[in-house]
Amino acid sequence: MDPENQTAISKFLLLGLSEDKSLQPLLFGLFLFMYLVCVTGNLLIILAVSSDSHLHTPMYFFLSNLSFVDMCFTSTTVPRMLVNIQTQNKAISYNGCFTQMYFFMIFSGMDSLLLTVMAYDRLVAICHPLHYLVIMNPRFCGLLLLLSWLICLTNSLLQSLMVLRVSFCKETEIPHFFCELSQVLKLACSDTFANDLLLYCVTGLLGVVPLSGIIFSYSRIVNSIVRISSPGGKCKAFSTCGSHLSVVSLFYGTGLGVYLTSGTAHPSREGAVASAMYTVLAPMLNPFIYSLRNKELKGALRRLFQHRLVTVR
C-alpha cells in the first residue's frame, strides 16, 4: 500500500455489542450490575481469605490471587464500555486502545496460568496428601505466582511492542466493545505476518499448554479417587476440586467461543458477545462457584460479616 494511503491514526471506534439505540440503556444497566457483582464478589473472597487464619493455605492463597486478577481482568474492559454507552461516544484514543490491549493480555494470561497452578495444587493435595505441605510450601507457591506474572508481563510487553510497528489505514472501526489484539490487527495496512505468528504461538503457550496441564492433573486426580475404597472418601476428595473444575470449564468454555468467533474472516457481533461471556460473566460467577460449594469459605465470609456488624455497632 502506498504511504499516502496510510495515516497516523489517533483513535479507534468501538462499535460495541449493538448499535440499536433502544438497547443501550438495557446494556448499560446489565453490564453495570454484572461489573459491580463481579468486583464485590471477588473483593469479598480476598477479604475473607486474608482475614481468616484458617484459610492461609496454598489453595486459598491462589484463590485470592485469582479473585484479584478477575477484578482487574473485568476492569480493563467494562468501565470503558459503560462510559462509551453513557456518553454515546464510541471513540477510544490510540494510546487508550494500546493500554487496554496491554493489560487485557496480562490478566487473561494470568487467569489461565493461575487455574493451571490451582489444578497442580489439587493434584498434590489428593495424590500426595502426606507431602502436601512440604511440596506446596510458601516459598514454592510464591515462586509459582512470580513465574506466572513474569510470563504474562513478558508476553504482553512483546506483543504490544510488535503492534507499534504496524501501520493502520483510515478504517478504524472495531466490531467489539474493547480493543482485542486480533481484531485490531485486522485493521492494519502493513504486513502482520509476524504479529499473527506470535499470536498463534502465545495462544498455544498460554492456552493449549495450560489446558493440557489441567487435563493431565485431573486425569491423575480421577485415577487416585477411583482407588479410594470408601464412598465417603471419594466424595470428600472430589468435593475439594469440584469448584475448581467448574471454574475451569466456564473459563475455557467461554474462551473457546471467543477463539472460534475471532478466527472468522468477517468479524461480527457474535465475537463480541462471546467475549462478554469470557471477560465479564466468568469472573462474576467464580466467587459464587467457590463460595457456594466450599464450607470453609462460607464460614469465613459469615465471620467476616459478623465482625463488620460488631464493628459498626
pLDDT digits (tens, 9 = 90+) for 22-76: 889 999 999 999 999 999 999 999 999 998 888 899 999 999 999 999 999 999 9
Residue-wise DSSP of 34-100 = HHHHHHHHHHHHHHHHHH-GGG-SHHHHHHHHHHHHHHHHHHTTHHHHHHHHHHT--EEEHHHHHHH
Instruction: Tell me the average pLDDT of the chain.
Output: 86
Query: Does residue 4 lie within any of the structural domains?
Result: no
At residue 269, the pLDDT reads 62
Query: Does residue 219 lie within any of the structural domains?
Result: yes
Query: Does residue 186 lie within any of the structural domains?
Result: yes
Query: Does residue 5 lie within any of the structural domains?
Result: no
Q: Please compute the mean of the pLDDT values over residues 233-250 and round it to a whole number.
A: 80
Q: What is the CATH number of the domain that holds 238?
A: 1.20.1070.10
Overall number of domains in the chain: 1
Instruction: Tell whether the model's pLDDT for residue 267 goes beyond 60.
Output: no
Q: Please compute the mean of the pLDDT values over residues 133-147 and round it to a whole number.
A: 96
- Tell me which of 80-94, 241-255, 266-280, 290-304 is least confident: 266-280
At residue 228, the pLDDT reads 76
Query: Does residue 224 lie within any of the structural domains?
Result: yes
Domain span at residue 273?
Answer: 10-312
- Tell me which of 112-116, 158-162, 247-251, 298-302 is least confident: 298-302
Instruction: Tell whether the model's pLDDT for residue 105 goes beyond 90.
Output: yes
Angle between helices 94-127 and 231-262 (to 10 degrees): 160
| Beta carbons of 113 and 152 less than 8 angstroms apart | yes
Instruction: Tell whether the model's pLDDT for residue 266 goes beyond 60.
Output: no
Angle between helices 295-312 and 24-51 (to 10 degrees): 90
At residue 116, the pLDDT reads 96
At residue 300, the pLDDT reads 82
Query: Does residue 1 lie within any of the structural domains?
Result: no
Instruction: Tell whether the model's pLDDT for residue 238 goes beyond 90.
Output: no
| Beta carbons of 261 and 296 less than 8 angstroms apart | no
Between residues 279 and 263, the one the model is more confident about? 279
Query: Does residue 137 lie within any of the structural domains?
Result: yes
Between residues 142 and 21, the one the model is more confident about? 142
Top mean pLDDT of 109-123, 237-251, 272-286 is at 109-123
Residue indicated by cell numbers 492461609:
56
At residue 268, the pLDDT reads 55
Query: Does residue 3 lie within any of the structural domains?
Result: no
